[in-house]
Amino acid sequence: MRRRALLAAFTALTAATATLGVRLATADAATEAAANAAARTAAARTAADGASTHAAPATFTHPGVLVSRGQLDFVKTKISEGAQPWTAAYNQMAASRYASLSRTPAPRATVECGSYSNPNNGCTDEREDAIAAYTDALMWYFTGNAAYAQKSIALMDAWSATIRSHTNSNAPLQTGWAGSVWPRAAEIIKHAYGAWPNQARFATMLRTVYLPVVIAGSSSNGNWELSMMEAAVGIAVHLDDKASYDRAIGRFQARAAAYVYIAADGSQPRYPPVGSVDTRAELISYWQGQSTFVDGLSQETCRDFVHTGYGLSAISHVAETTRIQGVDLWPSLSERMRHGLGFHTKFENGTAIPSNICGGSVVKGLGPVSEVAYNALANRLGIGMTNSRTYTESRRPQGTNNLFVAWETLTHANNPA
């Protein structure tokens, strides 16, 4: 009897200890999550506070989304001289389907984009019409042929008269991709060409259809929010909207810092500015299972280099726009971006993948995304970037990814303006 009582007491003590252990473990996890959530909020606030030193200019520069008038004039001179790589890049653009004067716009009131554009109800049409409008604006600037300006206007007018919304799971990303390209075209046409009767309607489209979606941000993979912030910044410039510009730059700074790891971040990457990634285990999962962090690694490196290229490209586009607007983010991003671009181009150039990176295997395909960052970092800031140089120069002219990147050898290669 006594033995049975002792056994029962021992069993009860064991169960209590186990329960206490579970509670302690749960409490520890909760404490970690709370602490990291607080740290993430503080980091986001720091980034937002930092934006006050990178706030909207007193007066926006136009054209001033990704390319400036000075940059365009530099390229125009190089083309007239038959200089390379600009002439080859111009010929590439002029021969593309995006420069066709017979193009017919295909606008929809509702663009429906599912995951990986399935379903694809207007997704490709919208993105490619936006690229075509930008292409035609560039063609007009470099040739002086007004037919290209009129085609750019026709494309923008068709969409501003029609589109009302984006739907389905990829709607935020689709809005970001198209919304980042439309302002590039609109800036050149409005501020360099000038004769555009329906410009105000187009501006209303940007303000009501695109801006509310993109400026809200995203907790998905980082390339989503970076593209959305690129769109928000470009739209804000075109609309002379200082409040939206400052809001977008604040979120952009926080997301860029959480997208590319550098040693200065500490033992692990920064937590994303929004979402439910609050513990180290969740962070590793968010970084595609990668638990070893080295300079230049991206949140999507172990997913694939294609999506990583989207993120790096969007960072470079926003930074370049801030430079044109007179409050340059490139110096503050230089360490992160030189490592990010160099890390990925090294493997694209043929360096073997070490076993501690993505299990020794990656999916390459960075894309035509290096010219803007390489020019800013290597040429303007004088940073040595051997891997990025090899990648960039061996792939000239870099064309378009048919999403939101287009003709950046033409616009940015060795461009000092």
Residue 21 half-sphere exposure toward CB, CA atoms < 13 A: 6
Alpha-carbon distance 240 to 346, whole Å?
39
Query: What percent of the chain is modeled with pLDDT above 90?
Result: 86
Instruction: Return the pLDDT at 236.
Output: 98
Residue 174 half-sphere exposure toward CB, CA atoms < 13 A: 27
Q: Per-residue pLDDT for 49 more than 90? A: no
Output the six-digit token pair for 47: 């980034």
pLDDT classification of 117: cutoffs 50, 70, 90? confident
Q: What is the pLDDT of residues 192-249, one digit of tens each?
A: 999 999 999 999 999 999 999 999 999 999 999 999 999 999 999 999 999 999 999 9
Instruction: Return the pLDDT at 17.
Output: 40
Which of 323, 331, 324, 413 has its CA nearest to residue 377? Answer: 331
Identify which has the larger pLDDT, 41 or 94. 94
Alpha-carbon distance 247 to 57, whole Å?
13
Q: Cα dist. 115→93, 97, 173, 278 in Å? A: 29, 26, 10, 26
Length of the chain: 417
Backbone angles phi, psi at 107, to 5 degrees: -75, 155
Instruction: Return the pLDDT at 311.
Output: 98
Q: What is the pLDDT of residues 239-279, one digit of tens each?
A: 999 999 999 999 999 999 999 999 999 999 999 999 999 99
Taking the model in full, what pTM does it have? 0.90
Q: What is the pLDDT of residues 392-403, one digit of tens each?
A: 999 999 999 999
State the DSSP code for 95.
T
Instruction: Return the pLDDT at 103.
Output: 98
